[in-house]
Amino acid sequence: MTQRGDIARGHTLVEFVIAIALGLLVTAGAVSLYTAQRSVFERSSDAMRIREAGLTSLTLMGQQIQMAGFVPADTARFVRPPPLFGCSGGRPTGADDSVACEALPARSDGIVVRYVGDTVSTWPSATGQSTDCLGQAVTNSNAALGGQGVLVVNRYFARVSGSTGEPELYCEGNGKAGSAQPLVEGVEYVRFRYWLAGGSAAMDASAVTASQWAKIVAVDLCVLVRGAPQGRRVRYVDCDGASALGADMRARQAFWRRVAIRNHAEESL
């Protein structure tokens, strides 16, 4: 009886060890599958956030650039300043009619868009006034407009937020000068190139002369958006169309759009 009991206990111990080993294998497989699925989900979610940020940025800036030079039918012509002005590797600063460029660390471009605002070309404020890109009422009176309408001036650029440390697309409207606000998070770089009437290639802002800004007929936009850390270096195509390997562990994607200046008519500016 003792020998048979020892054998029975021996069988039970072996079976117990086998059961534990099988359990560990199943658990390891489940954990591995969960980790893989979670990683795929996070990358997919990050890619979706990048795409949303890129398309939103192109839409917001594209809508405003299309308005460049707009003048309502019941408003007198205005002569100065031109509808567009750009900065290569910097943000626009200074007065609305004499903009200068301030260099940005990331060498991202900036742009100034000007047009005459009314309750149709902009969303009206609570008091029925024209608004800028941030929804702020624009109240400047412009003698060049014959006392009618207001000149809306919106400036776009990308920089790193001083509070969050994340790159963002900013807009500064003349409803409250000097008060730029972030619009889209994750926008690391913005590139603008300009087409002149009859031109064979798009130009950087630094190549456009003062007299040529009124002759711009289209603008090429590109935004480079970065995502969350992924634990691996990711290759991407930048705004110049060159393949690059990220220096950090974040995914990046560039988005492009060409915008025609609908209100281009040199003689009406």
Instruction: Report the alpha-carbon distance of residue 69 to residue 261 in Å, rounded.
Output: 8
Average pLDDT on 186-207 reads 94
Select from 248, 253, 250 the least CA-distant residue to 230: 250
Boundaries of every domain in the chain: 37-268
Q: Could you tell me the CA-to-CA distances from 88 to 5, 138, 153, 190, 212 in Å, in that order?
A: 88, 27, 19, 10, 15
**Residue 269 pLDDT exceeds 70:** no
Q: What angle do CA 189, 57, 186 make, to 5 degrees?
A: 50
Name which residue leads in pLDDT, 222 or 81: 222
Task: Let me know how long the chain is.
Answer: 269
DSSP 8-state class, residue 136: P
On whether the CB atoms of residues 151 and 113 are closer than 8 A, the answer is no
Chain mean pLDDT for the chain: 85
Is the Cα torsion angle 59, 77, 80, 133 positive or negative in sign?
A: negative
**214: three-class secondary structure by DSSP:** helix
Q: What share of the chain is helix, strand, coil (3-state, %, to 5)?
A: 30, 30, 40
pLDDT score at 6: 53
**Residue 5 pLDDT exceeds 60:** no
The dihedral formed by the CA atoms of 141, 71, 213 and 91, expressed in degrees to the nearest 10? 50
pLDDT band at 264 (very low <50, low <70, confident <90, very high): low
Name which residue leads in pLDDT, 87 or 267: 87
Q: Could you tell me the CA-to-CA distances from 30 to 18, 34, 36, 39, 138 in Å, in that order?
A: 18, 6, 10, 14, 59
**140: three-class secondary structure by DSSP:** coil
Check residue 66 and give left, alpha or beta (phi > 0: left; psi -120 to 50: alpha).
alpha
242 phi and psi angles, rounded to 5 deg: -95, 145
pLDDT band at 20 (very low <50, low <70, confident <90, very high): confident
Weakest-pLDDT range from 53-57, 176-180, 230-234: 230-234
Q: What angle do CA 8, 12, 15 make, to 5 degrees?
A: 140
**Residue 119 pLDDT exceeds 90:** no
DSSP 8-state class, residue 92: E
**Residue 195 pLDDT exceeds 80:** yes
**Residue 141 pLDDT exceeds 70:** no
